[in-house]
Amino acid sequence: MARRVIALARTWGEHSMTTIRMGLLLATALGLVGCNNTASTPRPPLLVQTKTVHEQDYVSTLVLTGEIAARTQSDLSFRVSGRVIARSADVGQHVDAGAVLAKVDPAEPQADLDAANAAVTSADALLKQASAAFDRQKSLFESGFATRSTFDTAQQNLRTAQSALDQAKAQAASASDALSFTELRAEQSGVITARNIEVGQVAQAAQTAFTLAQDGPRDAVFNVYESIFFMKPANRKVQLLLVANSKVSAVGSVREVAPAVDAKTGTVRVKVGIDKDADEMPLGAAVIGRAFFVPRKVFELPWSAATTKDGQLAVWLVNPATKTVSEKPVVAEAFEKEKLLIRDGLAPGDVVVTEGGKFLFPGQIVDAEATP
């Protein structure tokens, strides 16, 4: 009985394997038939939109935002150290030339001046005494009643006393100047743009107390990236327009370009001189500057024409004879709103795909529909 069961199992297993093999062969045959049908069916041309390019002049424009600043700006500081006892100027205030901005305690400089004046009085008295002694010895020497050495000593004492008086007067003048330096005055008329001291503070000599923007010509200051300087400007003129009041405009000339790139911002500071009334261009006002560069020949395309090849900007070109496409690397001059301006890589008369490029591959046959 057991032998009959084993024989039936073997027969069933062989039958199942035969069935599986036949199924695999059938599936492979059907797949080959399907592939042959697909390969034999040609792909229809892909409908795309194209544009025939032509060279045109492009005037590059640079638009930046800056601020109005005084052409001359100076830092004011005390020449002597001391405790600030008065401050009469603040940020934004207009001051006249010679106006007192702040004072430090004059007690110590006043004491130095008093001592210097006393030294002058003492030196003057010694000079008078030495002068009288010299006159007396001179008279005796001329009469033959004094020796030459005595006369020379009197003359030397007179000269020493005169030098001592001159020195005392110089020290008194210096002490008087030091006392006057306890008052910080504006050297020119202008507007206070910064203040760094307060009453009660001990101010050190040469420490900046105020920053003064002097009255007179003003500049529009811009921070631009160094790549801008690789483009040749049409001229040195810059059109200026106040952000707060579009009716106020002016034309300025580039007056100064910083010789180095700012390490913090990576920009170069450019100052444009303004030939305009200062009242119409207030300090700190935001201003828009527009500069123009030398025209260049470019090809204008819509953004949709752009693609990439090996990581570089490219476009699809259509061969009018074969209706096939190929990728062409190009160099962009500028990217503007909805426009791509090509500087290099195209030639007049080239047919460029503007729509449908994302579905293309090299050698694809297309049905081109020209766009205006």
C-alpha pair distances (Å), 335 with each of 21, 35, 169, 330, 331? 63, 46, 74, 13, 11
pLDDT score at 144: 85
Among candidate residues 203, 205, 183, 178, the one with its CA nearest the CA of residue 114: 178
Q: Is the pLDDT of residue 3 over 80?
A: no
Residues 191-230: pLDDT tens digits? 999 999 999 999 999 999 999 999 988 999 999 988 888 7
Query: How does DSSP classify residue 19?
Result: H
Among candidate residues 326, 328, 372, 364, the one with its CA nearest the CA of residue 46: 364
Q: Is the pLDDT of residue 18 over 80?
A: no
Query: How does DSSP classify residue 79?
Result: S
pLDDT score at 295: 87
SS (HEC) of 98-131: CCEEEEECCHHHHHHHHHHHHHHHHHHHHHHHHH
CA dist., res. 93 & res. 89, Å (int): 7
Q: Is the pLDDT of residue 19 over 80?
A: no
Q: State pTM to two decimals.
A: 0.61
Confidence category of residue 36, pLDDT binned at 50, 70, 90: very low
CA dist., res. 175 & res. 231, Å (int): 58
Mean pLDDT of 132-153: 91
Q: Is the pLDDT of residue 27 over 50?
A: no
Q: Is the pLDDT of residue 20 over 70?
A: no
SS (HEC) of 214-277: ECCCEEEEEEEEHHHHHCCECCCEEEEEECCCCCCEEEEEEEEECCCCCCCCCEEEEEEEECCC
Among candidate residues 271, 267, 291, the one with its CA nearest the CA of residue 218: 271
pLDDT score at 278: 65
C-alpha pair distances (Å), 7 with each of 2, 20, 21? 9, 21, 22
Mean pLDDT of 152-159: 94
